[in-house]
């Protein structure tokens, strides 16, 4: 959510578009993480990381879905988390490069703790005997996660499908919020084409 605020107060077109994109991506990737954690809690009735370890052995499909979602959350290119973060940092760098540096540092730290948590839960030996008999995702859970992963990939690849739908709204907001600053000056690399801008 800090990226959302950073993009809004960059007062640039791509920064504002990025903040909206972050909210879209966050709703999908974090929602998928909540679903995955809920599936695990249904099986073990605990949230303690220390209770797990080596879950990739009894639950390989679950581990794959979890890894895909974690990579989307940390902003791996071609997945949903990357686009919004990149736009926010690009827009912020145009106005306040110091804030962009702080934001990029936050991306690094968030990647570290998510990958560290994933490593503790899924890799290594199965140390807890209760985890040896855990069943993998069933058909219903698998289809839900396939749809969520598809959305994460679609947001990461077909960016213009979403950006062009709220570009005009972002321009209007910027013109109202910063009447003394032209939108074109605030965003020298707009996503709209000359054909659309002439209308």
> Binning pLDDT at 50, 70 and 90, where does residue 35 land?
very high
Query: What tens digit of pLDDT does each residue of 75-108 get?
Result: 999 999 999 999 999 999 988 899 999 999 988 9
Average pLDDT, integer, range 68-72: 96
Token pair of 27 as six digits: 């709703």
For 133-198, give the DSSP string. T-----HHHHHHHHHHHHHHHHHHH-HHHHHHHHHHHHHHHHHHH-TTS-HHHH-SS-SS-HHHHT
Q: Cβ distance 29 to 73 under 8 Å?
A: yes
| Lowest model confidence (mean pLDDT) among 26-30, 128-132, 181-185 | 181-185
Phi, psi at 12, each rounded to 5°:
-125, 155
Q: Which residues contact 133 (CB under 8 A, 6 or more apart)?
A: 58
Position 197 pLDDT exceeds 60: no
């Amino acid at each position: 959510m800090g990226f959302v605020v950073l993009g809004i107060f960059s007062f640039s077109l791509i920064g504002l578009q990025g903040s909206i994109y972050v909210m879209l991506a966050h709703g999908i990737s974090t929602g998928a993480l909540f679903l995955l954690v809920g599936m695990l809690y249904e099986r073990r009735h605990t949230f303690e990381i220390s209770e797990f370890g080596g879950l990739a052995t009894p639950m390989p499909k679950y581990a794959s879905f979890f890894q895909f979602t974690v990579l989307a959350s940390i902003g791996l290119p071609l997945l949903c988390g990357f686009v919004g973060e990149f736009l926010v940092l690009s827009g912020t760098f145009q106005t306040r490069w110091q804030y962009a540096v702080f934001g990029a540092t936050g991306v690094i730290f968030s990647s570290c703790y998510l990958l560290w948590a994933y490593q503790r839960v899924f890799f290594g030996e199965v140390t807890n005997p209760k985890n040896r008999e855990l069943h993998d995702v069933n058909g219903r859970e698998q289809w839900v996660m396939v749809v969520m992963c598809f959305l994460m990939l679609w947001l990461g690849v077909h960016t213009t499908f979403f950006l062009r739908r709220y570009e005009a709204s972002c321009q209007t907001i910027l013109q109202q919020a910063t009447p003394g600053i032209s939108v074109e000056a605030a965003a020298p690399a707009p996503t709209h084409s000359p054909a659309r801008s002439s209308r």
